[in-house]
Amino acid sequence: MTHPIEPSSPAMRRLHQLVDRIAVGTISVLILGETGVGKEVLAEAIHRRSPRAAAPLLRLNCAALTETLLESELLGHDKGAFTGAVQAKPGLLESADGGTVFLDEIGELPPATQVKLLRVIESREVLRVGSLRPRPIDVRFIAATHRDLEARIDAGLFREDLYFRLNGVTLEIPPLRERRDELLPLAIQFITAVARSLGRPPPELSRAALDRLAAHAWPGNIRELRNCIERAVLLAEAGRIDTDHVALSMRRTRPSSPPPQHLHDASGPHTSAPGTSGPGAVERQQIIAALARAAGNQKIAAQLLQISRRTLVYKLDRFGIDRPRKGRS
């Protein structure tokens, strides 16, 4: 179930505007974001809006397979390449020729496979396992991760040259707790889709249930919301989703903030700047404090916050914090 709703938060509108601009090219894209924020949905949007839309979009979860299977799935193999290889099989990269390859959880890619993927990206050729004959390919690479790849590079877990090859354009998806304007539209969309799949009319979402949704921190992001709504629709009685139906479906986490006023009052738009209220306000103050301690030096501030400098720059823009003058970064 996807969620291609019209983005209502400023951060997501900017993100989709960027997607429109980069979709027409062939540059590699790296999508960053917490688990469940919709990285695969964004990859689908890039492919769908690109000249490659009529060709395949093939996905591979780099964390789901052993190193041997991962290599075989990605590169393919020749007959007799290993025990059980009774016939030749093209890999994901060959099968996606002319289209797009989405490599999810790229941060979990084993070091040996990283080397082989780098070779493919640089040469635009695939060498199947057990083969000596390279095969040309034409694919666009989109990778995604919830990891801080720069930190993994520093730890020796990820190749810097592969990172730069994949990181043609970086797109970072904010967590759902920072995009609360999209909570109600997403909930309604999921309610409608689940009810349709069950062959029943969509149940009404009570005000109390909406308040409960709005107060939740959503550590699992959109995936958690979708699962919560699916269970709530199944539990709902008399065509109405109440607080109990929602509460039974939620992970046990502390509320992130009181329900935003704009979820109660639809007469006017929500105009608060990102990070000036709710959970983002805490993070914004932490960043300002770190910059003050670091005398404006972004590198030191990033170290104090235990994030990469690239992530710090992104957050400065997102929270509307003035960047320190050049010479102090």
Asked, colleague to colleague, whether 10-174 and 179-263 share their fold, the answer is no
The CATH code of the domain at 179-263 is 1.10.8.60
> Taking the domains of the chain in order of start, what are their residue ranges?
10-174, 179-263, 279-318
pLDDT at 276: 46
Top CATH class of 279-318 equals mainly alpha
Q: pLDDT over 70 for what percent of the chain?
A: 85
223: tokens are 């995936």
Query: In this model, does residue 196 exceed pLDDT 90?
Result: yes
Q: By mean pLDDT, which of 62-71, 166-175, 319-328 is the weakest?
A: 319-328
Q: What is the pLDDT of residues 256-271, one digit of tens each?
A: 444 444 444 433 333 3
How many whole angstroms separate alpha carbon 271 and alpha carbon 60? 39
How many whole angstroms separate alpha carbon 258 and alpha carbon 125? 54
Instruction: Say if residues 81 and 91 touch (Cβ distance below 8 Å).
Output: no
How many whole angstroms separate alpha carbon 59 and alpha carbon 243? 37
Higher pLDDT, 292 or 104: 104
Mean pLDDT across the stretch 83-89? 81
Q: Pairing between strand 135-136 and 125-126? A: antiparallel
> To which H or E segment does residue 145 belong?
strand 140-145
pLDDT at 162: 97
Query: In this model, does residue 68 exceed pLDDT 90?
Result: no
Q: What is the pLDDT of residues 141-168, one digit of tens each?
A: 999 999 999 999 999 999 999 999 999 9
Mean pLDDT across the stretch 120-124? 96
Q: What is the pLDDT of residues 92-104, one digit of tens each?
A: 999 999 999 999 9
How many whole angstroms separate alpha carbon 15 and alpha carbon 195? 30
pLDDT at 67: 87
Closest listed residue to residue 41, CA positions, set 12, 63, 70: 12
pLDDT at 190: 94
| Superfamily of domain 10-174 in the CATH hierarchy | P-loop containing nucleotide triphosphate hydrolases (3.40.50.300)
How many whole angstroms separate alpha carbon 282 and alpha carbon 253? 18
pLDDT at 263: 44
How many whole angstroms separate alpha carbon 96 and alpha carbon 93? 5
pLDDT at 281: 66
Mean pLDDT over all residues of the chain? 84
